[in-house]
């Protein structure tokens, strides 16, 4: 706990400070001992979702204390019991004497979640700025400051799978920041989980929760000679610190594409969905600022709510790639949007089945489609979030761009996770004629 406080102080130096940590566990003992992880879960294990929900100052927020937020978490974690567990490997469960005598050699190292009810971490913090001022500032990494910046490892059995940071602003507004290990579910799993907690907080009946551990006892074999799918990049092998190293510092930069801006883009670029048009513009822009470096292949990660299994936790996103025939920096946005609409090569099965450790987000420049995700369902006692933005940690150095609906569903919120030294160039290249910082 002391280590975590020191790291929080370093990460949130400046406007966000005063981090205090506590833990919430399920209200009853979980009877399931072991939650097996699917191959798709392990494929995403080096990535982390960071979601921030902003609530304007007012009577509702004024009455929401940390205790009020914590109380519904106890029954919430009864249903989502794997979230309160810790990652283990079968060999970790053997007595130390047996491991020292060699009985652990050759044993399975396939990770799983031990449902030991260790709980989720709650972080309380203060911000010395008003919410309006905070959202007007286009500085990078505001998502990182409002989401506790931790990853799994190097001591996996001590690492929480979820942190919830409650940040109170000077004006009386509040932000809820979630740091969610992608290992236990994709963005649709995460947001549905958070929305169910909010329903309990409001005194409503949450949606039915189906948690079904998969039965995949085989270890992921060492990577064979076959190359990885084009959508991903092989790394590692990664041991017990689940973060792929990058050679550059990455930063999150969020901005708002308003409805008039989106209409202007649609008029100038022709037909195309909002995700494809915004992604095409970003593809072209990033290609322009990376002088001397081709950005002809991009990864696309989509959430299709109609194709989900109904399981409450899981990684069910579709992963594929698109390749441009000509340099994207010199292509029209309409051409790139058409490629993103019609030419995605689906590699989901190959990505899930690849035996080595991989980076998905940022292996190539990656576009993440969050059009169908219910981001504004996390109501605090009837009050919708004024603004929501999602970022990500564990992104490879090619970067990722998350595209999501804004509060009224007519514009888009875009978060670009890019090398830090590219953020200023990105802002300048996009220009105020089309985009404005959120």
Distance of CA 108 to the CA centre of its chain: 28
Strand arrangement, sheet containing 345-346: 345-346, 318-323, 297-302, 365-369, 400-405, 412-419, 250-257, 436-437
- Strand, helix or coil for residue 369: strand
DSSP 383: B
Tell me what the mean pLDDT of segment 225-243 comes to.
Answer: 91
Q: Which two three-digit tokens encode residue 359?
A: 């980076």
For position 267, what pLDDT does the model report? 87
- Cα four-point dihedral sign 134, 135, 140, 142: positive
SS (H, E, C) 255-287: EEECHHHHHHHHHHHCCCCHHHHHHHHHHHHHH
Q: pLDDT tens, 303-351?
A: 999 999 999 999 999 999 999 999 999 999 999 999 999 999 999 999 9
Rounding to the nearest 10 degrees, give the CA dihedral for residues 25, 72, 305, 40. Answer: 0
Tell me what the mean pLDDT of segment 91-95 comes to.
Answer: 59
Among the ranges 60-64, 162-166, 263-267, which has the highest mean pLDDT value? Answer: 162-166
Q: Which two three-digit tokens encode residue 27?
A: 């209200």
β-sheet bridge partners, residue 164: 122, 178
β-sheet bridge partners, residue 181: 48
pTM, full prediction:
0.91
Residue 378 contacts residue 194 (beta carbons within 8 Å): yes
Phi-psi region of 374 (alpha: psi -120 to 50; beta: other; left: phi over 0): beta
Contacts of 156 (CB under 8 A, 6+ apart): 86, 87, 88, 89, 92, 111, 240, 242
Q: pLDDT tens, 26-78?
A: 999 999 999 999 999 999 999 999 999 999 999 999 999 999 999 999 999 99
Nearest alpha carbon to residue 436 among 400, 406, 408: 406
């Amino acid at each position: 706990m002391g280590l975590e406080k020191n790291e929080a102080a370093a990460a949130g130096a400046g406007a966000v400070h005063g981090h205090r940590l506590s833990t919430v566990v399920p209200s009853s003992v979980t009877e399931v001992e072991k939650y097996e992880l699917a191959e798709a879960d392990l494929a995403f294990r080096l990535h982390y979702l960071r979601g921030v929900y902003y609530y304007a100052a007012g009577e509702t927020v004024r009455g929401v204390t940390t205790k009020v937020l914590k109380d519904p978490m106890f029954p919430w974690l009864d249903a989502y019991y794997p979230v309160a567990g810790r990652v283990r490997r079968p060999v970790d469960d053997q007595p130390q004497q047996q491991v020292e005598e060699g009985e652990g050699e050759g044993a399975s190292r396939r990770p799983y979640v031990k449902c030991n009810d260790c709980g989720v971490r709650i972080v309380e913090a203060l911000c010395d700025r008003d919410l309006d001022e905070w959202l007007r500032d286009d500085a990078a990494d505001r998502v990182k400051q409002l989401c506790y910046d931790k990853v799994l490892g190097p001591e996996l059995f001590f690492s929480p799978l979820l942190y919830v940071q409650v940040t109170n602003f000077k004006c009386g507004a509040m932000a809820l920041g979630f740091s969610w290990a992608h290992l236990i579910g994709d963005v649709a799993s995460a947001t549905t989980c958070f929305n169910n907690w909010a329903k309990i907080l409001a005194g409503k009946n949450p949606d039915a929760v189906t948690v079904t551990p998969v039965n995949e006892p085989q270890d992921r074999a060492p990577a064979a000679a076959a190359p990885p799918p084009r959508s991903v990049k092989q790394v590692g092998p990664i041991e017990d610190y689940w973060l792929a190293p990058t050679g550059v510092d990455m930063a999150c930069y969020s901005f708002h594409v308003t409805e008039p801006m989106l209409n202007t883009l649609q008029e100038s670029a022709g037909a195309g969905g909002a995700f494809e048009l915004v992604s095409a513009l970003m593809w072209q822009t990033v290609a322009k600022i990376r002088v001397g470096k081709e950005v002809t292949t991009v990864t696309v990660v989509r959430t299709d709510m109609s194709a989900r299994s109904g399981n409450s936790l899981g990684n069910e996103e579709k992963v594929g790639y698109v390749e441009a025939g000509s340099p994207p920096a010199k292509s029209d946005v309409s051409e790139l949007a058409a490629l993103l609409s019609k030419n995605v090569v689906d590699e989901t099965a190959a990505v899930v089945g690849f035996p080595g450790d991989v980076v998905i987000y940022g292996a190539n420049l990656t576009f993440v489609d969050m059009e169908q995700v219910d981001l504004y369902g996390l109501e605090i006692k009837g009050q919708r979030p004024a603004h929501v933005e999602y970022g990500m940690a564990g992104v490879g150095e090619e970067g990722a761009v998350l595209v999501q609906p804004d509060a009224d569903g007519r514009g888009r919120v875009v978060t670009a996770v890019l090398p830090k030294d590219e953020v200023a160039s990105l802002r300048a290249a996009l220009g105020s004629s089309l985009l404005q910082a959120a």
